Structure formats: structure tokens, C-alpha cells
Amino acid sequence: MQLDKVVAYHKALADPTRIKMLILLAEGELNGQALAEKLHVTPATITHHATKLREASLINERRDKNTIYFSLDNYFIKNNALAAVRLIYRTVEGGQPIMDDNQKNMAASIIRNFIGKDGRLKSIPAQLKKKLIVLEHLVSQLEPGRKYEEKEINEFIKSFHEDFATIRREFIMHQFMSREDQVYELNPPEMWARWEQLA
């Protein structure tokens, strides 16, 4: 079972300075100098911790001339926290959500709308919920536990859509897959971003 994302998330949180940075950023965007002053540390210390937080998808960075501003990545903070809960409770009540008939029908309808009779993706949905349904449909055709070279993933995606780079990035962003040293592996479904939980 691929646990890298959940482990990286919790490792990133396992430091008091990083937790304090996240608490301060919850109030809004701040630059590195402001964070350093508020936490009474050096800017180099902020840079070090910001790298760890960014690698775990907990913060975003925005450059304005020579200043880097940091902000929370709310979607991934919440999704990573829920991923741990889903993994732990996956076999008991409160774990992986079970789709009701309405959700199953909606998912089937979206797949029909975006996947042609030839099995190819007509377009990448703009709406997050529809996009997650389509991505889930695609990755479900990969083999759990198998490690894929980047070229293999690109070829797999190209069998559905030409924009393999965007879809490959979406697989990683929404935790359908993990990547290490250009090798990709399907994450367990408990880690996938859940469209059923979106409004």
C-alpha cells in the first residue's frame, strides 16, 4: 500500500515551527520576512520549513519581484487530513464512503458525457466534481501495486486524451497516484480526493 503522501503530510506537521507557520498563514498570505519576525527565527529557517510544507502540498508560494509570499493550500490540508482518517477506518463505519444510487447514476451520466463510445476522453472537465469522477474512472484501469515508468503513464493517458501532462499532474494533485524519481504508483482508493464529499 502506497502511504507516501499521508506520511509526508504528517512529517511536515511534525515540527512546532511549521505548525506555527500554518496557524499564522490561516489568517492570510504572508511573506517570509514577516513570518520570520513573528516567529523570532531567521528568514533562512522560514525558507527551510516552507520547503517541507510545500513538498507536502500544505502551502502555496507566490513570487512578487524579490519577495516570496506564502499561503495555505486549504484543499490539500483538509484532503490529506481526511486521507489519514479514511486509511485508518477504511474497513469500519466512517471509512470509505459508499455511493448511494443517486451518486452512482450521476457518476455514470458524467462518464457518458465525457467519455466517447471509443473510450476516449472528449475533454477534461472544468468543474472539480466532474473532473474527479473522470480521473477516478481513468485510474481505476491501472493495476494496484504496480510501479509505472513516466513513459508508461504517458502512453496510458494518451490512449484516452492527448494532454497527458495535464492529466498526469491531476493524478498526482488529487492523490490518485504518487510519484517518486519519475516512477508512478496507484495510491489506495482511501487516499483519493473524494468527489462524493463536494457540495
pLDDT in tens, 176-190: 898 888 899 988 787
Last residue of a domain, one of 75, 110, 134: 75
- Residues 81, 175 contacting (CB under 8 angstroms): no
- 192 or 184, which is more confident? 184
CA–CA gap between residue 138 and residue 156 (Å, rounded): 9
CA–CA gap between residue 11 and residue 13 (Å, rounded): 5
Q: Is 90 within the bounds of a domain?
A: no
Same-domain check for residues 53 and 121 = no
Q: How do residues 35-87 score in pLDDT, each as one tens digit? A: 999 999 999 999 999 999 988 889 999 999 989 999 998 888 887 777 777 76
Sign of CA dihedral 50, 56, 59, 64: positive
Residue whose entry in the numeric block shows the C-alpha cell 498526469: 168
Provide the angle, in degrees to the nearest 10, between the axes of the packed helices 4-13 and 43-55.
160
Q: Is 137 within the bounds of a domain?
A: yes
Q: Count of domains in the chain?
A: 2
Same-domain check for residues 60 and 123 = no
- Residues 25, 18 contacting (CB under 8 angstroms): no
pTM of the predicted model as reported, rounded to 2 decimal places: 0.56
